[in-house]
């Protein structure tokens, strides 16, 4: 690991937050979303609803120039319009916030974050680089956990127009904090995280928690470890966040 490290950048979900049971998370999300659909005049069975939602997040981002709504809210609007369902403005806001909160029930904060970051901040800058469609939820989480002041820079894809692995989302943090890529390490848990760091010229660190088997589901592939070590030998691998201490010698 380079000796001139001045900053540590982090992914959020799967890195600072642990996916304990994503199957339950998505069931909770579906149940909550459906509870709002049931209030409408459109009659749709739960099975039909879940089938129609199977590609909800895989579809291209909605082309809606309005800044009034997050990308996630725009996805909800697109779904509603496709099925002639009408929501009031307040119902849309509530549905967006409550469905994400339902999903969050089984996604918990790594208990070491506050203590680890307190150590890191003595000598390093800290930034968040997150692909996420509903920024309001992240800011609410950080307020609840009292994490807002832990970060020197927060970069969320939905606010920038760039998503990992696009290097430009990293460049925003680098430029803001006046850092060079070689002065930074980035901790993440997905292909997009590792490839994005590589694209930006930043040292990638893959976090692979074998004690949390459900992190391997829904895109968090258990083969990430061996695949990236093989194809990208510069990728360091850690099993928990405390191992960052050994990487940069806090």
Q: Give the pLDDT confidence score for residue 22 in this predicted structure.
A: 87
Q: Residue 145, preceding bond cis, omega within 30 degrees?
A: no
What pLDDT, in 10s, does the model give residues 7-44? 999 999 999 999 988 899 999 999 999 999 998 877 88
For residues 144 and 225, the model is more confident at: 144
Q: Residue 217 — pLDDT band, cuts 50, 70, 90? A: very low
Domain boundaries, the chain: 7-20+108-248, 22-104
What pLDDT, in 10s, does the model give residues 70-90? 999 999 999 999 999 999 999
Name 127's Cβ contacts closer than 8 Å, sequence gap at least 6. 7, 8, 9, 10, 151, 152, 153, 154, 155, 173, 177
pLDDT > 70 fraction of the chain, expressed in percent and rounded: 89
Q: What is the pTM of this model?
A: 0.91
For residues 154 and 66, the model is more confident at: 154
Q: Residue 209 — pLDDT band, cuts 50, 70, 90? A: confident
Q: Which CATH superfamily is domain 7-20+108-248 in?
A: HAD superfamily/HAD-like (3.40.50.1000)
What pLDDT, in 10s, does the model give residues 125-145? 999 999 999 999 999 999 999
Name 15's Cβ contacts closer than 8 Å, sequence gap at least 6. 110, 187, 188, 189, 193, 207, 241
What's the burial of 188, exposed, middle or buried (CB within 10 Å: 0-12/13-18/19+)?
A: buried
- Phi, psi torsion values for 30, nearest 5 degrees: -60, -45
At residue 229, does pLDDT exceed 70?
A: no
């Amino acid at each position: 690991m380079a000796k001139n490290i001045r900053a540590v950048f982090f992914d959020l979900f799967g890195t600072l937050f642990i996916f304990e049971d994503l199957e339950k998370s998505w069931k909770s999300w579906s149940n909550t979303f459906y509870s709002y659909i049931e209030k409408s005049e459109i009659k749709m069975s739960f099975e039909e609803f879940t089938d129609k939602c199977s590609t909800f997040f895989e579809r291209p981002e909605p082309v809606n120039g309005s800044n009034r709504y997050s990308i996630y809210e725009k996805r909800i609007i697109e779904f509603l319009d496709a099925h002639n369902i009408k929501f009031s403005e307040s119902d849309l806001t509530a549905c967006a916030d409550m469905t994400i909160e339902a999903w969050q029930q089984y996604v918990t904060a790594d208990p070491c974050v506050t203590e680890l970051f307190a150590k890191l901040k003595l000598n390093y800058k800290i930034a968040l680089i997150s692909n996420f469609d509903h920024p309001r939820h992240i800011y609410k989480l950080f307020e609840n956990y009292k994490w807002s002041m832990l970060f020197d820079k927060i970069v969320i894809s939905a606010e920038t127009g760039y998503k990992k692995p696009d290097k430009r989302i990293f460049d925003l943090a680098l430029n803001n904090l006046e850092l060079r890529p070689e002065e930074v390490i980035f901790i993440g848990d997905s292909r997009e995280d590792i490839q994005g760091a590589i694209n930006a010229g930043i040292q990638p660190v893959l976090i692979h928690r074998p004690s949390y088997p459900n992190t391997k589901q829904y895109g968090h592939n258990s083969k990430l470890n061996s695949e990236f070590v093989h194809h990208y030998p510069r990728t360091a691998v850690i099993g928990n966040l405390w191992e960052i201490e050994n990487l940069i010698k806090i």
